[in-house]
């Protein structure tokens, strides 16, 4: 089954404790992206990756890191989480974004993060 998986689905942590949220897709998609969803703000793009070893900032990258060492995986790293990073996070993948932006994004189920 074609899907985007995220782990963990729920996470409660404390300020400053490094964490990683994993994202994996089995569709051989080139483009992957991370979003955070906050009430009244919709989804905001954190980082995206055009392909292996190619990443770029979205609109709200501060406090986050990503890496793309393999095509299927795109982990989101919070080196020193703070309470303002409490949010619902979504990973998404798209077959290709070769300048035509034609492809549908497939979303993971979300990770609800609480930073105390």
Partner 1 sequence: AQSVTQLDSQVPVFEEAPVELRCNYSSSVSVYLFWYVQYPNQGLQLLLKYLSGSTLVKGINGFEAEFNKSQTSFHLRKPSVHISDTAEYFCAVSIGSGTYKYIFGTGTRLKVLA
Tell me: does residue 34 bind partner 1 (CB under 8 A): no
Which one of 11-19, 27-35, 65-73, 77-85 is the stretch in contact with partner 1 (CB under 8 A)?
27-35
Q: Could you give phi then psi for residue 60, rounded to 5 degrees?
A: -135, 65
| Cβ at position 84, least distance to partner 1 in Å | 18
Which residue in the set 55, 61, 71, 110 belongs to the binding site for partner 1 (CB under 8 A)? Answer: 110
For residues 45 and 86, which CB has a smaller minimum distance to partner 1 in the complex?
A: 45
| Nearest CA among 46, 47, 49, 5 for reference residue 27 | 5
Q: How far apart are the first and last CA of the chain?
A: 36
Report the alpha-carbon distance of residue 57 to residue 38 in Å, rounded.
19
Which residue in the set 26, 27, 109, 116 belongs to the binding site for partner 1 (CB under 8 A)? Answer: 109
Report the alpha-carbon distance of residue 64 to residue 28 in Å, rounded.
24
| Cβ at position 16, least distance to partner 1 in Å | 29
The DSSP symbol for 78 reads E
Which residue in the set 2, 26, 28, 59 belongs to the binding site for partner 1 (CB under 8 A)? Answer: 59
């Amino acid at each position: 089954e074609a899907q985007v998986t995220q782990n963990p689905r729920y996470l409660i942590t404390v300020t400053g404790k490094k964490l990683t949220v994993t994202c994996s897709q089995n569709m051989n998609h080139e483009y992957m992206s991370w979003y955070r969803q906050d009430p009244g703000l919709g989804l905001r793009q954190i980082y995206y990756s055009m392909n292996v070893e190619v990443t770029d900032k979205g609109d709200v990258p501060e406090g986050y890191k990503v890496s793309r060492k393999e095509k299927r995986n795109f982990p989101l790293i919070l080196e020193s989480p703070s309470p303002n990073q409490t949010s619902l996070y979504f990973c998404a993948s798209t077959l290709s974004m070769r300048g035509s932006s034609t492809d549908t994004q497939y979303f993971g189920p979300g990770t609800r993060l609480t930073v105390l």
